[in-house]
Amino acid sequence: MANKHEIEQFFRELQDEICTALETTDGKARFQEDLWTHHTGGGGRTRLIQDGAVIEKGGVNFSAVEGPAGEDLKRQLEIDFNADFFATGVSIVQHPNNPLMPIIHMNVRYFELSDGTYWFGGGIDLTPHYVDDAQAQWFHAQLKAVCDAHDPAFYTQYKKWADDYFYIKHREETRGIGGIFFDHLNEGSLNKSKDEIFAFVKAVGQTFAPIYTHLMKLNGEKPFTEAQKEWQYIRRGRYVEFNLVWDRGTKFGLSTGGRTESILMSLPKEARWFYNHQPEEGSEEALTLSKFKKGIDWV
């Protein structure tokens, strides 16, 4: 059965593989690494890429932290006993230069308590500034194939979970076209062994680079207008709103003494807000906005 050290090592190697793939495909920018330590133990490697040929700003973070669970963490976990914790994972957000290229997010993670409790979580979701139906269908087909290889029930369940999770309640719109999202996966929540669940999480992590490098090659050099760039800034603003207001990972990290710079790596280099902005009826922007809703069957 996989232990925490094997899981940590996989995530370390996954970060390396994804950074290499993104650098190679971008062809211009290189990741800068920032090593850090956590106040309770362990630490991480924050890697940031900026001002590339395709990627304007992106992060690929690895962390493995441990120590005694503080009162904030115990409240988050709803436990009333003292315990040590271990948490490791990889978190990614990529903001492209081109408004016809989508933002992508992925997180794969593992959490363990000293009483033997453990779980895996993660997912991948896509946030286009303009929805290309064919690319949206392709993206969801890739995720469905990964899910189906491990359990035919996974895609439907985790796709709905993503629709519900990546929802900007105060705007009544989804952050993008969703993807898959899952949390607290263990032998108690699934009829699967720890190794089987880990195999699924591995597969999700390993599908990131092929998916996003394909989209980079398709969209990175497309011509675009100033109006499309303006719309990109507005959609980035929505991305910021979700991450700061609703994202559990952001709130959890900030409330439990996580490393602020690594947590807020997900924010774009530039974003804009306009009072009561409404896209012109019948425009590409309005069409895209109409597709930011739950329950769309992309495959």
Domain positions in the chain: 4-290
DSSP string, 257-286: T--HHHHGGGS-S-----TT--PPTTSHHH
C-alpha dihedral, 155 to 161 to 162 to 163, nearest 10°: 110
pLDDT in tens, 230-265: 999 999 999 999 999 999 888 877 876 778 888 898
In the DSSP assignment, the letter for residue 89 is E
Question: Which stretches of the chain are DSSP H helices?
Answer: 4-26, 71-77, 133-148, 154-165, 194-206, 208-219, 226-245, 248-255, 260-263, 284-290
Give 140-173 pLDDT, tens digit per residue. Answer: 999 999 999 999 999 999 999 999 999 999 999 9
φ/ψ (deg, to 5) at 44 = -170, 180
Catalytic residues: 105
State the Cα–Cα distance between residues 33 and 93, nearest whole angstrom.
15
**79-124: per-residue pLDDT in tens?**
767 788 899 999 999 999 999 999 999 999 999 998 889 999 999 9
Q: What is the mean pLDDT of residues 8-19?
A: 98
Residue 118, strand partner residues: 112
Instruction: Indicate yes or no: pTM above 0.85.
Output: yes
Predicted pLDDT of residue 98: 98
Give Cα 224 distance to the centre of its chain.
26
Q: What is the pLDDT of residue 81?
A: 75
Binning pLDDT at 50, 70 and 90, where does residue 78 land? low
Residue 200 has pLDDT above 70, yes or no: yes
Cα–Cα distance between 28 and 246 in angstroms, integer? 34
**pLDDT at position 198 over 90:** yes
pLDDT of amino acid 90: 97
DSSP three-state, residue 150: coil
Q: Which CATH class is domain 4-290?
A: alpha beta
Least confident of 36-45, 96-105, 126-135: 36-45
Does position 77 have pLDDT exceeding 90, yes or no?
no
